[in-house]
């Protein structure tokens, strides 16, 4: 199968960890091992990844030296995508020495009138306690929001519309290249009246961009890997339960956190409703078992695809 694998920012940098180069490389090495298992099973993969912690750190570093001029978020997003893609490519190459790799900076168009520019929801940067977050928001003009029991800066996250490099990615995939792209959801750009493009201050949600990419590549599956084992109904309550196999209809009326699981669920639904194929969400370490149907949450358009991928093999774990 051709699988678009989206690595969550929290899968690359665990919650509460310092954002050091050593920690990020250690986590990317773990991610590379999971990806190598998928490739070893004969799957073709296109790798996307988050950048929320990293782009936020770059923004903080830029703000610490105001005399040098602050770089806009689109430029910082490109910088973080190159940084993370480089390490992913290197660690995968260390495991799969006879394969070809390419890390590609990816521009993604957005609507300049998207309501997300008025209502920021995308968390970036480190987490803070509530008092510190409010102090920094007042000092720096940030907008902030809760993230679990902590707080983070939030920025606009407009809907991705077109991936400008999709044809280049497809060209490489057809020739057996493992492509790392759409880092951090891609670099957000808008089209001018003359047909040229320019960057815009935003961070695109990586999962929604990955869903768009999977559709444009005609992928067989969208796999979103994070630091939780499944999507949970009533998460954070005594009634919490893991959802193992669901359809969009079954999720009607349910809500999920906008800054974390919500975009993943939306991305899965967009992909399966457009293609009739399957999407899944689960823990990074369980990647191969998720694809085999043994773990994670599977999303299927049941009316179109009633046959479970594990119907002829192993039984899903409950």
Active site amino acids: 9-10, 122, 206, 264
Count of CA atoms in the C-beta half-sphere (13 A) of 239: 2
Cβ–Cβ < 8 Å for 229, 282: yes
- Residues with Cβ within 8 Å of 253's Cβ and at least 6 positions away in sequence, in order, are none
DSSP H/E element including 174: helix 166-174
The three state secondary structure string of 101-133 is: EEEECCEEECCCCCHHHCCCCEEEEEEECHHHH
Q: Give the number of C-alpha atoms closer than 13 A to the C-alpha of residue 289, restricted to the C-beta side.
A: 16
Sequence-distant (6+) residues with CB within 8 A of 226 are 8, 10, 11, 264, 281, 282, 283, 284
Q: Identify the CA nearest to 261 among candidates 232, 300, 237.
A: 232
Tokens of 154: 């939030």
Of the candidates 213, 160, 158, which has an alpha carbon nearest to the alpha carbon of residue 6? 213
Burial track 278-287 (b if 16+ CB lie within 10 A, e otherwise): bbbbbbbbbb
């Amino acid at each position: 199968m051709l699988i678009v694998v989206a690595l969550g920012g929290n899968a690359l940098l665990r919650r509460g960890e310092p954002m050091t180069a050593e920690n990020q490389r250690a986590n990317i090495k773990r991610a590379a091992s999971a990806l190598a298992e998928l490739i070893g099973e004969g799957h073709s993969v296109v790798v996307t990844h988050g950048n929320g912690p990293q782009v936020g750190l770059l923004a903080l570093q830029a703000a610490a030296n105001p005399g040098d001029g602050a770089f806009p978020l689109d430029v910082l997003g490109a910088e973080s995508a190159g940084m993370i893609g480089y390490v992913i490519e290197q660690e995968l190459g260390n495991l799969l020495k006879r394969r070809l790799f390419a890390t590609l900076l990816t521009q993604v168009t957005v609507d300049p009138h998207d309501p997300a520019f008025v209502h920021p929801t995308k968390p970036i940067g480190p987490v803070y306690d509530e008092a510190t977050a409010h102090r920094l928001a007042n000092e720096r003009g940030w907008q902030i929001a809760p993230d679990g029991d902590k707080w983070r800066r939030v920025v606009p996250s407009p809907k991705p519309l077109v991936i400008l490099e999709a044809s280049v990615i497809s060209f490489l995939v057809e020739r057996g290249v493992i492509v790392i792209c759409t880092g951090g959801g891609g670099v957000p750009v808008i089209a001018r009246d003359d047909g040229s493009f320019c960057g815009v201050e935003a961070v695109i949600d990586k999962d929604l961009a990955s869903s768009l990419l999977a559709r444009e590549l005609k992928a067989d599956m969208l796999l979103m890997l994070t630091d939780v084992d499944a999507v949970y109904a009533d998460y954070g309550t005594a009634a919490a339960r893991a959802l193992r196999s669901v359809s969009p209809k079954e999720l009607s009326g349910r809500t999920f956190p906008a800054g974390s699981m919500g975009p993943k669920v939306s991305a899965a639904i967009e992909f399966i409703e457009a293609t009739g194929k399957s999407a899944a969400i689960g823990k990074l370490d369980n990647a191969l078992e998720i694809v085999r149907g043994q773990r994670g949450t599977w999303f299927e358009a049941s009316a179109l695809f009633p046959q479970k991928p594990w119907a002829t093999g192993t039984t899903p774990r409950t």
